[in-house]
Homo-oligomer: A and B are copies of this chain.
Amino acid sequence: MRHNRIYDMIEAVHRAGSIRKAAEETNITSSALNRRIQAFEEEFGAEIFERLPRGMRLNPAGELLLHHIRMQRQDLARVHSQVADLSGVRRGHVKIACSQALLPYFLPRQISIYRAEFPGVTFSVNVRDRIQAERDLSNFESDLALVFEPAHMVDFKILHAVHQPIMAVMSRAHPLAGKTELRLRECLEYDLVLPGPQYGVRGLLELAAQRAGRKLEPVVETESFEMVRHYAAFGQSIGFQIPVGLDQLARPEMISIPLSQIDVAGGELLLGHQRGRTLPVAALKFASQVAKALSTR
């Protein structure tokens, strides 16, 4: 929206940290930008930036204002979305923050299904760990978050929750491959490949191991769930993953077996948005599709 360009400028200065840097990115001269900022502060009745020798930083008033700006921009997007919806054409853009587990199969499929019906809707998918995903919602950078075992849950309004047991992933040639359920102690006899400590799966496993008086000593620790799966499928190691991250179609070389609920209770995969906001139509529709898919899988 052109008439609110001053808001974009304020955000640009905030991001860039100085008028001159922000000026480049805004395609405007620093003098013009400077005067716009000054004029705005004049009209607003208070300074919103601290002038430091190395640039500009938002003061508390500016923080307050920035939050308002983001709120109002988001709400305008919702209005746009609703207007598009009532004209019959479904347009819009949905921004999703999700954990890695959703990337290989679940989200691509869901987005593809949704876009088959509403080709006017586009998507941004950002991989975030559970902490970052929540921050994304608070910062207005995502409409929806789809995360396993979120941490704080402030500002997080749950739209849908589904329980996810922990699955052990291994090669079909693995000695344990024939079982239908595994105990944790069985797995600990073998090499483990685990995600880093910031991930929910790891947290749940650590907890279970501690309770059993054991300690997890992974031979491979990685940030990539893909690495976990493929390393496990390749060698004699055992990896772990939640069902939503595993292909519904069985893979020839890989098998997944649930861990006994006695050892590891599993966790919740949550779909949510920022508390207190009204979602754009597209995001809302997509969320309800995802919720349905999650509960019927």
Alpha-carbon gap, A79 to B60, bound state (A): 11
Chain A residues at the B interface, C-beta cutoff of 8 Å: 1-4, 6, 40, 43-46, 60-61, 64-65, 67-68, 71-72, 75-76, 79-80, 82-84, 86-87, 276
9 cross-chain pairs, A with B, having the tightest CB-CB distances, nearest first: A61-B83, A72-B72, A68-B79, A3-B6, A46-B83, A64-B79, A2-B43, A64-B82, A60-B86
Q: Which B residues touch A86, using CB under 8 A?
A: 60-61, 64
Inter-chain contacts of A46 with B (CB < 8 A): 83-84, 87
Give the shortest distance, in Å, between A4 (CB) and chain B (any CB): 7
- Shortest Cβ distance from A45 into B: residue: B80
Contacts of A1 in B (CB 8 A): 43-44
24 A-B pairs whose Cβ atoms sit less than 8 Å apart in the complex: A1-B44, A3-B3, A3-B4, A3-B6, A3-B40, A4-B4, A45-B80, A45-B83, A45-B84, A46-B83, A46-B84, A46-B87, A61-B87, A64-B79, A64-B83, A65-B83, A67-B79, A68-B75, A68-B76, A71-B75, A72-B72, A72-B75, A72-B76, A276-B276
Question: Which residues on the B side are within 8 Å of A67 (C-beta)?
Answer: 79
- CA gap between A64 and B45 in the complex, in Å: 29
Contacts of A276 in B (CB 8 A): 276
Alpha-carbon distance between A64 and B84 when the two chains are bound, in angstroms: 11
